[in-house]
Structure 1
């Protein structure tokens, strides 16, 4: 294992991603959970940059960090939610959760270190951003447009439901 800048950046970004996910699970306020989730998404986008997948990193930032996080915040603001915190003692539950996560981590690390990975190079010449755009807008244009219509219908339905709740 070499300690170079790329390894250090990957280590920091992965710790930030895992930390954001742990904070998202640990927080009790929904807004804090969304911010921790956005932090996790940004860290994952940084990992994509390290993998030289700049397009995927940009899509990660635009779609997940931007759109999904903002959509979650709008959903929180449009719905009625309780702001009271429930601070019941969950120490036994937390201990069992920690033991389960530690065991799962151990199994995953054992599988990673005992799995032989091939060192072959992937053929990336035909998987470019231009080809992706060509596939989406030529071969898959109907599913792409149907997805956008479905998302628009969901947005209109959410606004109508929020307006009905506010009027009641």
Structure 2
């Protein structure tokens, strides 16, 4: 069950490096005190996740990850931070008992997940994946899933108009 026959290939080292970068970026996003540093470390995590998607041969998802999350969401967060007022608040006091319990809980979760993944048997894929999966996603998106795609675009447009209307209403109040 605990068979550790690992092939030390370039793909293994790239996965290890990208996964460590994603975890470090996420931990830094939680632990930083300044919100701009949090946003930048979150962008670092998103770029690392895009690299992991490339290792999984999901180039389209990696491209969307970089375009939407790294580009749009992170820049939006930084603009939101710059346009709002922030007062210096005192830092919350440390809780060593709570932090110790959280660390123990994390280690237990890691052990459970490690055991579950090692005990699982993953089936082989039913068919070979296409060579150009971005082209296949595009064909499906604009043929079989054209109506849901358009409905999502209408829903996002309505949500955007609603957000602008709410922001204008709050701005008009004295």
TM-score (normalised: structure 2): 0.78
Aligned residue in 1 for 2:51: 46
Alpha-carbon distance between aligned partners in 1 of 2:13 and 2:87, rounded to the nearest angstrom: 42
Shift of 1:126: 9.2
CA RMSD for the aligned pairs?
2.7
Per-residue Cα deviation, 1:32-75 (whole angstroms, up to 9, x for no partner) = 22222211110011112222222221111112211222233344
Q: Are the aligned partners of 1:29 and 1:83 in contact in 2 as well (CA < 8 Å)?
A: no
Distance 1:43-1:105 versus aligned 2 partners, 3 A rule: same
Distance 1:156-1:84 versus aligned 2 partners, 3 A rule: farther
How many corresponding residue pairs? 168
Aligned residue in 1 for 2:96: 91
Q: Say which is worse superposed, 84-93 or 14-23, in terms of deviation.
A: 84-93
Out of 131, 140, 145, the position equivalent to 1:135 is 140
Out of 10, 22, 27, the position equivalent to 2:32 is 27
Aligned residue in 1 for 2:10: 5
Alpha-carbon distance between aligned partners in 2 of 1:122 and 1:149, rounded to the nearest angstrom: 34
Query: Counterparts of 1:60-99 in structure 2 under 5 Å?
Result: 60-99=65-104
Structure 1 unaligned residues grouped into runs of 5+: none
Out of 103, 111, 115, the position equivalent to 2:108 is 103
Aligned residue in 1 for 2:3: none
Q: Are the aligned partners of 1:29 and 1:85 in contact in 2 as well (CA < 8 Å)?
A: no
Alpha-carbon distance between aligned partners in 2 of 1:135 and 1:146, rounded to the nearest angstrom: 15
Distance 1:35-1:5 versus aligned 2 partners, 3 A rule: same
Shift of 1:127: 8.1
Q: Are the aligned partners of 1:42 and 1:65 in contact in 2 as well (CA < 8 Å)?
A: yes
Structure 2 unaligned residues grouped into runs of 5+: 1-5
